A = this chain, B = another copy of it.
Amino acid sequence: MKEKASNGMKNIFFTVGPTQTHPKLGEYLNEGLERGVYSISHRGKESGELFAHTVSSLKKLLNVPEDFHVFFIGSATEAMELIIENCVENKCFHFVNGAFSKRFFQIAQELRKHPEKCEVPAGEGFNMQTASIPADTELVCFTQNETSTGVKIDMPDIRTLRLKHPDKLFAIDIVSSAPYAPVDYGVIDCSFFSVQKGFGMPSGLGVLIVNDKCIQKAEKLQAKGMNIGSFHNFPALLKSAYKNQTPETPNALAIYVLGRICYAYLEYGPERIRKETDEKAGFLYEFLDNNPRYPAFVKNESWRSKTVIVAETPEGSAPVLKRLAERGYIVGSGYGEFADKQIRIGNFPMHEAKSIKRMLKVLE
């Protein structure tokens, strides 16, 4: 897509989220103001139409089946809490290979569930053929793209596992993979993302997509007298969603802008976005594989994320980030313990191939 330094500065953000904003963000924000979107009643007809437009555009863009429900919440982190509260009575299972998949696991611990995990070292993926999930697991949690390390999980691998466990609910974090990576909703019961990554929006909106099996599980727990949360429990979110509303006064600005961006992506073509993302990831990894100063952190090619590319920086990340920033390219540092040892490059629809190439020239 055509990216533009829409913030008026020369900087281009290749960070992994928040990141470069969509080139039309300013236009959409002002349009929302002109149209009164930030003033109209959140219980009225006009607001309901905007809500419904965003939901239908999003479902079309992400290939979400009609019978899934879309809930607007505050963040992907909140989605993790809500999924655990509403879908787990006693036990869930997590595939952990970095900070964000670990966060999902820790939230289950904090909520006094009894999560178990399959954990592999940072930079590695999973062998789903050999993964062993306890029989009494109610929910299995995946992170399609581990933003801290740049490792992906492919849908066919999840499908393999699902065939062995048709009785369990499957949840997937698609935070930094949407709208690029396909999700097979035939084997997934709920997914979630936040808008400050592949959608190029300001942060502050989480999107949670759930099927009726998740709703039924929440209702079952509620009937048992369990605490499944209050205003944002699944039955409450569903009741409001049927009216094209949220239980609380919603982030109408973000819902409106998300609808506009989904529509823009649909017009541009989801397949074209996917093809461009693959191409950009292709020459990013090619560059890393040919430059011993920046070896790719993820060695196994089949585990390499196309949207979050992580490079090791044997000379330390600080001088590399500084050199890039001086030329207007803002790239992310490594995450947590890797802060000084790695850099992370976001490859989202807003990022143009030619700017990535220019940025790589600076790295050379």
Contacts and interface: CB of A to CB of B under 8 A. Distances in A.
A136 interface: no
B15 A36 contact: no
A84 B279 CA distance: 50
Given A107-B231, A248-B78, A33 B6 contact: yes
Contacts of A112: 225, 227
A40, A81, A249 interface centre (most CB from chain B within 10 Å): A249
Nearest to A201: B38
B76 A196 contact: no
A15, A196, A231, A252 interface centre (most CB from chain B within 10 Å): A231
A11 interface: yes
A332 interface: yes
Interface stretch (A20-28, A162-170, A301-309, A352-360): A20-28
A41 interface: yes
A33 to B, nearest CB: 5
Contacts of A32: 202
Contacts of A229: 81, 110-111
The interface residues of chain A, by DSSP majority, are classed as loop
A196 B19 CA distance: 26
A6 B37 CA distance: 12
A244 to B, nearest CB: 15
B39 A30 contact: no
Interface residues of A, number: 65
Nearest to A81: B230
A270 interface: no
B111 A227 contact: yes
Contacts of A21: 33, 38-39
Nearest to A195: B249
Contacts of A20: 39
Interface in A246-299: 247-254
B41 A15 contact: yes
A191 interface: no
Contacts of A48: none
7 contacts: A8-B33, A17-B249, A18-B40, A38-B203, A78-B248, A81-B229, A203-B249
Given A7-B35, A11-B36, 5 more contacts: A6-B33, A11-B39, A21-B38, A78-B232, A253-B253
